Amino acid sequence: MTEPNLSIEFAGLTLKNPVFTASGTCGYIDELAAFMDVSALGGFTTKSITLYPRKGNFTPRIVETDAGMLNAIGLANIGLDRFLREKVPLIAQYDTAVFVNVAGRTIDEYVAVTERLSQEKAIAGFELNISCPNVKKGGITFGTDPQQVETITQTVKKVAGAKPLMVKLTPTVTDITVTARAAIAGGADALSMVNTFTAMVIDIEARRPILANRTGGLSGPAIKPIAVYLVQRVYREVAKLAGIPILGMGGIRNASDAAEFLIAGATAVAVGTASFIRPDCCQSVLDGLHDYCRRHKIANIRDLTGTLQD
């Protein structure tokens, strides 16, 4: 058999393979580059960028749980200006599709960041973070109301220029197909799912939450079966018909996990928390997917998407 072709079409882009980093878990790009060949990745999602720098929450910002962790980083980031000055030139050095994850308190902030970056050649596209559970304003409050999802997507899409706009969905809604439809109605070119689940760990000796922010977002293998279910549901009920690709994530740590998401309906997958334990995890996911395709005689990995049987 000839070598499997791992390239995919994703929101109008041709990517060399379906493996991305998840926002907030691999820095701006150079942090990860010390540990793996970032240019081997199909895509890279940056830490959330906001219009102004954000210091983020007090510490502790993380706590480990069974097969997972909570984080309440609070969108700590260097802000648009420094990102443009310091990080965009670095990003330009890597041969991967870099999506900037955009966050804000108001729609205007999302618009300002996207508009400014829509001109940057080094940036492949955007991921709209309307699902971060760790900030007081913006974040998840936008993401749970279908009307707001549509409005913000539509407004930001107008200023994204030719670059694709991905909308990141929160899993903490009664019916995720409703918000998925709203994002697509607003003009989303792709859906990314899922973000973390709001959760809490209590220190029973001090009787206070461990996290300074009290609550944090649960990520890691613990949430994987829920994420797979949600991707599968959105694919079957919404995305497939709409022809909109899904970037699937939640607990992926090896190629088998990634394959589950692809079979469920994702066109690409992102590795988040697992990079903390194995900073070269994306590479091994990639290698493993290659092997999986060979073993199953899948000539084009894009043909794996949504092949879940009834």
Partner 1 sequence: MKHRSAQSSRIFTAVVRQHRIIRPRYRLLTLELDAKGSAAFASVMPGQFVEIDAGPLSLPQDKDIPAELLDSAKRNIMLRRPFSFSAIRHKGNKFEIDISYHVVGPSTVRLTTLVPGDSLNLIGPLGNGFRIDQSRPIAVLIAGGMGAPPIQHLAAHLKSHHPDMRVTAFIGARSLDEIPFDIGTDPDGGIIFPAFSSVGVPHAMTTDDGSFGVKGFVTQLVEKLLVPGPFQTDKAILYACGPEPMLTAVSRLAAKIGVHCQLSMERMMACGIGLCQSCAIKTRDPQAEDGWSYRLCCKDGPVLDGKDVIFD
Ligand X SMILES: Cc1cc2nc3c(=O)[nH]c(=O)nc-3n(C[C@H](O)[C@H](O)[C@H](O)COP(=O)(O)OP(=O)(O)OC[C@H]3O[C@@H](n4cnc5c(N)ncnc54)[C@H](O)[C@@H]3O)c2cc1C
Ligand Y SMILES: Cc1cc2nc3c(=O)[nH]c(=O)nc-3n(C[C@H](O)[C@H](O)[C@H](O)COP(=O)(O)O)c2cc1C
Residues designated catalytic: 132
Smallest distance from the beta carbon of 235 to ligand Y, in angstroms?
17
Within positions 91 to 130, which residues make up the interface with its own copies, using CB under 8 A?
Answer: none
Q: Determine which residue in the list 53, 79, 151, 229 makes contact with its own copies, applying CB under 8 A.
A: 229
- What b-and-e string marks burial along 6-30, b requiring 16 or more CB atoms within 10 Å of the CB? bebebbebebbbbbbbbbbbbbbbe
Give the other-Cβ count within 10 Å of 116's Cβ.
Answer: 16
Q: Is the Cβ of residue 11 or residue 78 nearer to partner 1 in the bound state?
A: 78
Examine residue 289 and tell whether it contacts its own copies (CB under 8 A): no
* Contact set with ligand X (CB under 6 A): 63, 201, 203, 210
Examine residue 38 and tell whether it contacts partner 1 (CB under 8 A): yes
CA atoms within 13 A on the CB side of 256: 2
- Here the contacts of 286-290 (C-beta below 8 Å, separation 24 or greater) are 286/6, 286/17, 286/19, 286/40, 286/41, 286/255, 287/255, 288/254, 288/255, 288/256, 288/258, 289/6, 289/17, 289/18, 289/19, 289/255, 289/258, 289/259, 289/262, 290/3, 290/4, 290/6
Smallest distance from the beta carbon of 142 to partner 1, in angstroms?
22
* Contact set with ligand Y (CB under 6 A): 22-25, 47-48, 71, 73, 75, 101, 129, 132, 168, 195-196, 219-220, 223, 249-252, 271-274
CA atoms within 13 A on the CB side of 289: 34
Cα gap 98→26, rounded to integer Å: 12
Question: Per CB under 8 A, which region of 23-31, 107-115, 130-138, 163-171 contacts partner 1?
Answer: 23-31
Q: Is the Cβ of residue 80 or residue 222 nearer to its own copies in the bound state?
A: 222
Cα gap 175→156, rounded to integer Å: 24
Smallest distance from the beta carbon of 87 to ligand X, in angstroms?
26
Q: Is the Cβ of residue 29 or residue 228 nearer to its own copies in the bound state?
A: 228
Q: List 77's β-bridge partners, or say none.
A: 54
Q: Determine which residue in the list 221, 226, 237, 294 makes contact with partner 1, applying CB under 8 A.
A: 221
Q: Is the Cβ of residue 63 or residue 227 nearer to ligand X in the bound state?
A: 63
Cα gap 291→145, rounded to integer Å: 41
Nearest residue to ligand X, by Cβ distance, number only: 203
Q: Determine which residue in the list 110, 142, 197, 235 makes contact with its own copies, applying CB under 8 A.
A: 197
Within positions 49 to 108, which residues make up the interface with partner 1, using CB under 8 A?
Answer: 55-56, 59-69, 71, 73, 76, 93-95
